[in-house]
Amino acid sequence: MKKSKKSTIVSLTNQLTEIQDKWKRALADYHNLEKRIASQQSQFVKLANAGLIDKLLSVLDNLETAQDHIKDKGLSLALTQFKDVLKSEGVEEIKAKGEKFDPEIMDCTDMTSGKKNIITKVTQKGYKLNSTVIRPAKVEVGSGTKK
Amino acid sequence: MSKIIGIDLGTTNSVVAVMEGGSPKVIPTAEGRNLIPSVVEPAKNLVGDVAKRQMILNPKNTIYSIKRLMGRRISDKQVEKTKTMVPYEIVAGKDNIASVKVENKTYTPQEISAKILQKAKTDAEAYLGDKVEKAVITVPAYFDDSQRQATKQAGEIAGLKVERIINEPTAASLAYGLDKKKNETIAVYDLGGGTFDISILEIGDGVFEVKSTNGDTFLGGDDFDHKIIEWIVAQFKTENGIDLSLDKQALQRIRDAAEKAKTELSSSTETEINQPFITQGKDGNPLHLTIKLTRSKLEELVDDLIQKTIGPVKAALKDAKLKTSDINEVILVGGQTRMPKIQKTVKDFFGKESHKGVNPDEVVAVGAAIQGGVLMGDVKDVLLLDVTPLTLGLETLGGVRTPLIERNTTVPTSKSQIFSTASDNQPQVEINVLQGEREMAADNKSLGRFILDGIAPAPRGMPQVEVTFDIDANGILNVTAKDKGTGKEQKITIKNATNLTEEEVEKMKADATSHAEEDKKKKSLVDAKNQANSVSFELEKQLKEHGDKLDAVEKKKIEDNLKNLKNLAAKDNVSAEDLQKATQTTLESAQKIGEIVYKQQQTEAAKSGKGTEPAKGTEPAKGPESTKAPESAKTPPAGDKKDVKTPPPAGTKTAPPKPPGKESSAKDKKAKDSAEEGEVVKE
């Protein structure tokens, strides 16, 4: 009788520890989730537009290429307006031409003659949204050889 | 206790996942993507996307596909082949183990892989907000002991205790919960970015045994992209006579477009490849690339690649001494298996549907995370939290069901909401607790009902009755109704509120879906009737108060409309639209009352010197309530307030057909809205 009481105590104590452990873990999961949601929310507000803006950027690319070819005054005005809208949303063009190559914000697509590690040509403009890179600039980088 | 993360250390990409609250979650990288390119620049310590971006600039120092060298000797055939394909230098390291040389320093594949694992660890720590010290890492089923050992070492170099190395196909099976099956044979078809693997597994008593493996280590999604690029270049050449493959910049744009087209054709049957100003013609005029690519054309282009996977599948079956009919389950892994044609080919070959998730490129990492969870003791017997299978709510005015706890809410949980009375001096409210998905109370299951009485005499909408639904972890539902004015409380306890058989739940859900349309109609009719009734009630009150100021003709008109509306609302076979129309007409005719009241106010204001601008050009407020703005301030916010069905005085259970003078929450809201409009007009 006594023995069974003891074993009951042991088994209950074990159960208690196990449950405490699980409870703590669930609580920890929950707290972490709360923290993460808070940080994600602020991130979300900042970057909520990233997906849409990224899609618009390829349209901007094409309009700019078109402008390079046809050099139309009206289109130029429209382009300025478009860029102003993006700017007001926190979109910022990554300066690349003539800069030193930086893989954090640029994507090298080719090497050409020119100063070593210096951007010789931007093949696709890169953009940041509220200081986060949403599209790295596609660039050609100098190889250190002369033309 | 720190968590055990699961890592799919891939040839082209790596993915990290972790168990959270009992279910696996893929961890996003610092760059916000779900995968890390398995690319490393060891000299400058760049990993993932950043390393990949500088690959062209720095080809000798940028290491990719390191998995192909993992734990192999320099004389290994695979190493020889890799040597001819990559621009970096592969050298013999200690004990003739294949290593890479970057800026005169030799790195073992373990060290390179460790950089990827380190990034995985850092990203996971940032995500979890906690230290990560342990991991489960996956390897291909054909990896031998030294390759597995090398993978384990890579983990240790990265500061991770490798709790277990598991096979990729096993991880995929775990992700689909196939470890619970008994004595089954599983085929895992894994077509990734650069490699193809087929594995045949047998499962018995939760243990997986690899029966055979086969594959093609140089076949993957990238080859599919190349086919599309070639096709686009060829098409453009026949049309314009210009070879775009010679124009690196154009080729880059085509590469991006090809990948996008491939992805799109997995969900649609046709896509347009549009790249304006791709190049210049011989005459200097700009040329545009516009090509339509259909799914069937794509399938034709890559057909040989797909067929190429079938050989290894047959060989693997032969090695395992099995026929296609012996295979119980088929699993698709790898991003390229999103392609419908591949899914169909595999289905036709095995004669059965395969398991395929939304993200076939994440299942291996997910499986590894599940294994990690099992090791942590997280999964073995998770504290299974129940959910309420059906919505719990109560009956409100007009026999409408108002939900309080939505279905699929994890219990224990508690919700409360404030309701009010529907008629003046209503002494009691009846709470009818309902379970089900239907819009009308009568179509749901009534779990119980009780009455809260002793409500002090007050105009309707004034008393505040707080109703609380509380389900504990055992599924016991406590419903409490409390009159906030008198503090009087009444409650009911319902056992097994969540305890329904699966069939019951399914049936009730199916009912709800099949009746959704008809329920909506019924509900909108009740809403319309409630609104008509409350409008008549209010107008009668207004007429009593201000009727003497109207001229007889107008008064008669309003009274006629009112009478008509009341008759209409009492009818059973009236349509919601007709009622709404009648309500509208009545309200319009009643605008006269508002006009008179305002005119009077303005004259009074002018007399007292504080002249307000006559509201010229502004529409008169729609609702008669607008004259009584202060009242709305006393009632609780419309969103929180619903009127509870009043039991008829006699105590019979069913409510008589909508006696006039009852009002719904919808009306309440409207009244409040119009009250606000009224204020705007005054300003």
**pLDDT of B547 over the 80 cut:** no
pLDDT value for B16: 97
pLDDT value for B650: 36
For residue B615, name the pLDDT band (cuts at 50, 70, 90): very low
Among A33, A48, A63, identify where a domain stops: A48
- Look up the pTM and report it: 0.64
pLDDT value for B436: 84
pLDDT (tens digit, 9 = 90+) per residue, B20-79? 877 899 999 988 889 999 999 999 999 999 999 998 888 899 999 999 999 999 999 889
Residue with tokens 């953009």, as numbered in its chain: A127
As a dihedral over the C-alpha atoms of residue A40, residue A44, residue A47, residue A51, rounded to 10 degrees, the angle is: 110
The answer on A68 and A26 residing in a single domain is: no
Please report residues of A whose CB lies closer than 8 A to that of B53.
103, 106-108, 136
B5 reaches A (C-beta below 8 A) = no
**pLDDT of B443 over the 90 cut:** no
B413 reaches A (C-beta below 8 A) = no
Q: Do B50 and A103 touch (CB under 8 A)?
A: yes
The residue ranking higher by pLDDT, B496 or B546, is B546
Distance between A1 CA and the closest CA of chain B, angstroms: 31
Q: Do A111 and B46 touch (CB under 8 A)?
A: no
Q: Which two tokens stand for residue B450?
A: 């009780």
Q: What is the mean pLDDT of residues B76-85?
A: 90
Distance from first CA to last CA of chain B, Å, rounded? 62
Query: What's the order of all strands across the beta sheet hosting A127-129?
Result: A91-93, A127-129, A132-135
The answer on A67 and A88 residing in a single domain is: yes
A17 reaches B (C-beta below 8 A) = no
Min mean pLDDT across B121-135, B388-402, B534-548 is at B534-548
Residue-range definition of the domain harbouring residue A106: 49-142
Q: Do B57 and A22 touch (CB under 8 A)?
A: no
- B303: number of Cβ within 10 Å: 13
- Residue B367's closest CA among B208, B212, B221? B208
The answer on A64 and A116 residing in a single domain is: yes
Q: Which residue in B has a C-alpha nearest to residue A43's C-alpha?
A: B32
Nearest to A32 among B57, B130, B276 (CB): B130
Min mean pLDDT across B365-379, B382-396, B655-669 is at B655-669
Please report residues of A whose CB lies closer than 8 A to that of B249.
109-110, 123
pLDDT value for B449: 82
Please report residues of B whose CB lies closer than 8 A to that of A66.
276-277
Q: Do B248 and A22 touch (CB under 8 A)?
A: no
Q: Do A110 and B252 touch (CB under 8 A)?
A: yes
Interface probe, candidates A107, A110, A117, A133, chain B, greatest B C-beta count within 10 A: A107
According to DSSP, the residues that pair with B137 across neighbouring strands are B7, B165
The answer on A28 and A81 residing in a single domain is: no
Domain count, chain A: 2
Q: Do B249 and A25 touch (CB under 8 A)?
A: no
pLDDT value for B219: 92
Nearest to A108 among B20, B57, B276 (CB): B57
Catalytic residue numbers of B read 8, 67, 168, 190
The answer on A71 and A124 residing in a single domain is: yes
The Cα B77–Cα B51 span in angstroms is 27
Q: Which residue in B has a C-alpha nearest to residue A106's C-alpha?
A: B53
pLDDT value for B286: 84
Q: What is the mean pLDDT of residues B291-313?
A: 95
The answer on A62 and A30 residing in a single domain is: no
pLDDT value for B496: 59
Q: Do B56 and A138 touch (CB under 8 A)?
A: no
Q: Say if A147 falls within a structural domain.
A: no
Among A48, A65, A85, identify where a domain stops: A48
Please report residues of B whose CB lies closer than 8 A to that of A101.
54, 57
**pLDDT of B189 over the 70 cut:** yes
pLDDT value for B410: 73
Q: Which residue in B has a C-alpha nearest to residue A110's C-alpha?
A: B56
The answer on A79 and A25 residing in a single domain is: no
Query: What's the order of all strands across the beta sheet hosting A137-142?
Result: A106-112, A137-142, A119-124
Q: Do A123 and B127 touch (CB under 8 A)?
A: no
Do B343 and B356 touch, CB atoms closer than 8 A? yes
The answer on A22 and A32 residing in a single domain is: yes
B129 reaches A (C-beta below 8 A) = yes
Q: Say if A29 falls within a structural domain.
A: yes
pLDDT value for B234: 94
**pLDDT of A39 over the 50 cut:** yes
Q: What is the mean pLDDT of residues B428-454?
A: 85
Q: Do A110 and B21 touch (CB under 8 A)?
A: no
Q: Do A108 and B50 touch (CB under 8 A)?
A: no
**pLDDT of A17 over the 70 cut:** yes
Nearest to B129 among A36, A111, A123 (CB): A36
The CATH code of the domain that includes A93 is 2.30.22.10
Please report residues of B whose CB lies closer than 8 A to that of A36.
127, 129
Distance between A106 CA and the closest CA of chain B, angstroms: 7
pLDDT value for B676: 34
**pLDDT of B340 over the 90 cut:** yes
Please report residues of A whose CB lies closer than 8 A to that of B250.
none
The Cα B328–Cα B351 span in angstroms is 10
Please report residues of B whose CB lies closer than 8 A to that of A25.
1, 378
Q: Say if A40 falls within a structural domain.
A: yes
Check residue B316 and give left, alpha or beta (phi > 0: left; psi -120 to 50: alpha).
alpha
Instruction: Give Cα separations from B25 to A44, B29, B116 (angstroms).
Output: 18, 13, 19
pLDDT (tens digit, 9 = 90+) per residue, B132-179? 999 999 999 888 888 988 999 999 999 999 999 999 999 999 998 877
Question: Which ipTM value was assigned to this complex?
Answer: 0.72
The answer on A37 and A53 residing in a single domain is: no
Q: What is the mean pLDDT of residues B84-89?
A: 91
The answer on A54 and A43 residing in a single domain is: no
Q: What is the mean pLDDT of chain B?
A: 81
A59 reaches B (C-beta below 8 A) = no
For residue B533, name the pLDDT band (cuts at 50, 70, 90): confident
Non-local (6+) Cβ contacts of B118 within 8 A are: B47, B158, B159
Q: What is the mean pLDDT of residues B373-396?
A: 70
A63 reaches B (C-beta below 8 A) = no
Size of interface A-B (CB pairs under 8 A): 58
Mean pLDDT is highest, among A37-51, B28-42, B175-189, for B28-42
Q: What is the mean pLDDT of residues A110-139?
A: 90
The answer on A135 and A81 residing in a single domain is: yes
**pLDDT of B508 over the 60 cut:** yes
Rg (CA), chain A: 28
Task: Report how far Cα B18 is from the mean position of its chain's Cα atoms.
Answer: 19
Do B452 and B488 touch, CB atoms closer than 8 A? yes
pLDDT (tens digit, 9 = 90+) per residue, B447-472? 888 888 888 888 888 888 999 998 87
Q: Which residue in B has a C-alpha nearest to residue A66's C-alpha?
A: B277
**pLDDT of B500 over the 80 cut:** no
B276 reaches A (C-beta below 8 A) = yes
Interface probe, candidates B49, B53, B259, B260, chain A, greatest A C-beta count within 10 A: B53
**pLDDT of B93 over the 50 cut:** yes
- Residue B402's closest CA among B642, B177, B599? B642
pLDDT (tens digit, 9 = 90+) per residue, B260-279? 999 999 999 999 998 888 88
pLDDT (tens digit, 9 = 90+) per residue, B221-263? 999 999 999 999 999 999 998 999 888 888 888 988 999 999 9
Please report residues of A whose CB lies closer than 8 A to that of B21.
26, 29, 33
> Cα dihedral sign for B436, B439, B445, B450?
positive
As a dihedral over the C-alpha atoms of residue B419, residue B423, residue B425, residue B426, rounded to 10 degrees, the angle is: -60
The answer on A105 and A56 residing in a single domain is: yes
Min mean pLDDT across A61-65, B1-5, B375-379 is at B375-379
Read off the DSSP letter of residue B241: S
Alpha helix positions (H), B454-590: 502-546, 552-570, 576-589
pLDDT value for B607: 67
Q: Do A66 and B383 touch (CB under 8 A)?
A: no
Beta strands in B205-323 (DSSP E): 207-216, 270-280, 286-294
For residue B665, name the pLDDT band (cuts at 50, 70, 90): very low
The Cα B450–Cα B446 span in angstroms is 11
pLDDT (tens digit, 9 = 90+) per residue, B565-604? 888 877 777 788 888 888 888 888 877 777 777 777 777 7
The residue ranking higher by pLDDT, B483 or A146, is B483
Nearest to A108 among B54, B128, B129 (CB): B54
Q: Can you count the helices (H) and strands (E) in chain A?
A: 3, 6
Q: At what angle do helices B221-240 and B248-264 cross, to 10 degrees?
A: 120
Q: Which residue in A has a C-alpha nearest to residue B276's C-alpha?
A: A62
